[in-house]
Amino acid sequence: MRRALRRGAEEGQASLLLLALMALSLLAVTVLLIRLGDAQESQTQAQRAADAAALAGAADYRDRAARSIAGGFPPGDSFQLEPARNRARTYAALNDAELLQFRASDDDNGFTGDTVRVEVRSAQCQRELDEDGSWEEWSDWLCEDEEGTAEGNVASEAAAIATVEMPDCELNLDPNQPMVCDGTPVTDYATAQELIEIHLVDEEGDYLYHELDPDEL
């Protein structure tokens, strides 16, 4: 009887140990999945901010070109570096990111700057694991310094490119008649703006218009 009781106790202890090991394994898997999810979310947030910043920088060029067309003039060199950069920086900040780099290019010898590329860094950081593979808190970590890497924290970075596609416009020699773009007479700013498209692309233009490094931002 005593041997049976002892054997039952040993089996019970083995079962408890097995359950404890299984619980630790599940916890480790849970921690890994959480950290992978946090890293993915951080990168997604950074890319979202980069897309918004690039589109905003290109939109500044679009809006200036639209005003020229509505006034009866070809858009010409409507791109202005600082207003476009400031607009991109604002939209990066609205999406919890910092603008790291801004440059403009085009396929017309670098005269128009109708393609904008930006790089941003997320304001949300991920906490590095401690030496024993753990970390102290489960919540998100804010980046606490200009380098984006407060002690133990790592920030996500992303880049995006946006371009402006102008309509085919014909200058009317009669000053009393509006400019015609893609077959549409442009009589106001809103019409001109609708005819100019902005979208994200994978490649920059062939010629650099201007580039701002981090010290100039």
Q: How many CB atoms lie within 10 A of CB 81?
A: 18
The secondary structure of residue 151, as a DSSP letter, is: T
pLDDT at 73: 82
pLDDT tens, residue by residue, 160-191: 999 999 898 887 777 778 888 888 899 899 99
Q: Specify which residues 212 forms β-bridges with.
A: 102
Coil, helix or strand at residue 25: helix
Separation between Cα atoms, residue 184 and residue 167, nearest integer Å: 10
Which H or E element spans position 59? helix 2-70
Question: CA distances (Å), 62 to each of 21, 158, 180, 188, 198, in order?
Answer: 61, 24, 17, 14, 8
pLDDT-based confidence at residue 92 (cuts at 50, 70, 90): very high
Between 217 and 181, the more confident residue is 181
Q: Is the pLDDT of residue 64 over 50?
A: yes
Between 123 and 188, the more confident residue is 188
Cβ neighbours of residue 157 closer than 8 Å, sequence gap 6 or more: 46, 100, 119, 120, 121, 122, 148
Angle 192-196-198 from CA coordinates, rounded to 5°:
145
Q: The tokens of 11 are what? A: 């089996």
Separation between Cα atoms, residue 216 and residue 46, nearest integer Å: 21
pTM of the model: 0.69
When mean pLDDT is compared across 73-77, 128-132, 174-178, 200-204, the lowest value belongs to: 128-132
pLDDT at 34: 42
C-beta of residue 95 within 8 angstroms of C-beta of residue 52: yes
pLDDT tens, residue by residue, 3-44: 554 555 455 555 666 666 665 555 544 444 444 444 567 788
Up-side HSE of residue 113: CA atoms within 13 Å toward CB? 25
Separation between Cα atoms, residue 8 and residue 11, nearest integer Å: 5
